């Protein structure tokens, strides 16, 4: 990003932090967590400790960081190097990102920016202006992606509450600030789990590696027993989810059993594999298993979009393209090169073909953060 664009974004971000300092959610056990931040065009500063919310606020306003992070782990000495921190435990965290869901809509709202000449087009193979193949993909706001990600959040919440016994009130759902959701679970009996044990939770949540034996069928199972052994729709946990996923309803269950022939085991195994993507929650395994991660801090701005990581409240009515657009709406003039249209705060923007436009600050920041606009030449 050129220096002028970075300075413009820093100004917008600083104003947000200055004016909203009181609404920044300060993490509990804050004195025992590691903090980190990045500035536009800057590297990562981590291994920082924040004594209290005053220190955090001073850091935000004086640095106007592009991104702010905080560990899910707590340590005796959060500001020492990793092997001297003395790890004491970590909250469970989950990341659901629309880009991992491989939705059909993505091609329609993904653009490619040339790293050599900065031209932007919808062509994924090569830059139309200079022929370079060094392209960076950028995705703009899409409602279908958000709705699909919300579905994954609901599946995850259901598993955390019903299967793991985590009270609903201990689970916080946040919009990530760009294209997905972060879920934080504060559950004392999970705090001590190490990375491998968290990996087992991930497999459970994603419904990885399910075998027919676990769900009422062995290779030599007599057909007459299946009525008793196969999962019922009302069963708790995965048994019930499998029944709903494969049989759909009671009639479907009966039909499934009556149609079973010689290779029932194999076809049941195939069905279990096929429904994993539908009934398992598609969380990012790396985020949950990393017990030393610094994770985007709630209420902080996301340098990839200029939107904020905000709590969702009611997930059904939550609209990130309105509720997370927190930057100033005063007019900003930029040269925009954004070949697809997008909507923020109820207003339509673009498409723009390298044209000078005056748009609200949040929309200018959105395009600047994604490299789809520049302040120079404006």
**CB of 182 closer than 8 Å to CB of 91:** no
- Residues 6 or more apart from 251 whose CB is under 8 A from it? none
Catalytic residue (choose from 4, 123, 284, 290): 284
Specify whether 316 is catalytic. no
User: Among the candidate windows 112-120, 160-168, 251-259, 358-366, which touches Zn ion by CB under 5 A?
Assistant: 112-120
- Residue 284 falls in the annotated catalytic set: yes
Q: Contact between 123 and Zn ion (CB under 5 A)?
A: no
- In angstroms, the CA 240 to CA 270 distance is 18
Look at the block and give the residue holding tokens 């960076």: 136
163 is catalytic: no
Q: How far is the CB of 50 from Zn ion (least distance, A)?
A: 36
Binding mask 135-174 for Zn ion (x = CB under 5 A): -------x-xx-----------------------------
Interaction between residue 101 and Zn ion (CB under 5 A): no
First to last CA, the chain: 15
The two structure tokens encoding residue 219? 């290779």
CB nearer to Zn ion: give 293 or 304.
304
Q: Binding to Zn ion by residue 210, rule CB under 5 A?
A: no
> How is residue 294 written in tokens?
């610094």
For Zn ion, the binding residue among 105, 161, 187, 233 (CB under 5 A) is 105
Detail the DSSP E strand segments found in 51-160.
Answer: 67-71, 73-75, 87-90, 92-97, 110-114, 120-121, 135-139
Applying CB under 5 A, the span of 86-94, 106-114, 287-295, 332-340 interacting with Zn ion comes to 106-114
How far is Cα of residue 364 from the mean position of the Cα atoms in its chain? 23
Give CA 95 to chain center in angstroms. 4
129 lies in the site for Zn ion, by CB under 5 A? yes
Among 1, 117, 187, 378, contact with Zn ion (rule: CB under 5 A): 117
Which one of the spans 97-105, 171-179, 304-312, 367-375 is the region binding Zn ion (CB under 5 A)? 97-105
Q: Are the CB atoms for 117 and 103 separated by under 8 Å? A: no
Which residues are catalytic, by number?
95, 97, 284
Q: Rule CB under 5 A: which residues touch Zn ion?
A: 105, 114, 116-117, 119, 127, 129-130, 132, 142, 144-145
């Amino acid at each position: 990003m050129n220096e002028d664009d970075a300075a413009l974004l820093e100004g917008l971000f600083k104003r947000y932090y200055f004016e909203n300092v009181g609404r920044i959610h300060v993490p509990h056990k804050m004195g025992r967590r590691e903090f980190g931040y990045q500035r536009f065009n800057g590297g990562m500063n981590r291994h920082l400790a924040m004594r209290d919310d005053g220190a955090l606020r001073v850091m935000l306003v004086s640095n106007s960081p592009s991104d702010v992070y905080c560990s899910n782990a707590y340590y005796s000495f959060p500001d020492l190097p990793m092997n001297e921190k003395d790890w004491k435990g970590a909250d469970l965290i989950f990341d659901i990102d629309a880009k991992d869901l491989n939705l059909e809509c993505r091609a329609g709202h993904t653009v490619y920016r040339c790293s050599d000449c900065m031209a932007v087009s919808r062509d994924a193979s090569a830059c139309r202006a200079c022929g370079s193949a060094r392209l960076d993909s950028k995705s703009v706001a899409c409602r279908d992606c958000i709705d699909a990600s919300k579905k994954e959040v609901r599946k995850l919440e259901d598993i955390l509450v019903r299967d793991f016994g985590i009270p609903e009130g201990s689970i916080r759902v946040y919009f990530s600030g760009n294209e997905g959701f972060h879920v934080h679970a504060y559950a004392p009996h999970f705090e001590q789990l190490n990375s491998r044990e968290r990996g087992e939770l991930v497999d459970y949540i994603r419904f990885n590696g399910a075998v027919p034996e676990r769900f009422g069928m062995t290779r030599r199972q007599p057909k007459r027993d299946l009525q008793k052994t196969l999962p019922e729709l009302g069963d708790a946990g995965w048994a019930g989810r499998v029944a709903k996923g494969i049989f759909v309803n009671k009639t479907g269950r009966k039909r499934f059993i009556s149609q079973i022939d010689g290779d029932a085991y194999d076809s049941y195994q195939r069905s279990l594999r096929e429904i994993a993507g539908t009934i398992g929650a598609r969380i990012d395994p790396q985020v949950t298993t990393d017990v030393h991660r610094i994770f985007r801090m709630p209420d902080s701005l996301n340098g990839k979009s200029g939107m904020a990581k905000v709590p969702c409240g009611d997930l059904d009515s939550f609209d990130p393209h309105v509720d997370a657009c927190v930057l100033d709406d005063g007019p900003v003039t930029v040269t925009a090169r954004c070949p697809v249209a997008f909507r923020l705060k109820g207003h339509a923007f673009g498409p723009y073909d390298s044209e000078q436009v005056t748009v609200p600050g949040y929309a200018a920041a959105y395009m600047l953060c994604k490299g789809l606009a520049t302040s120079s030449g404006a």
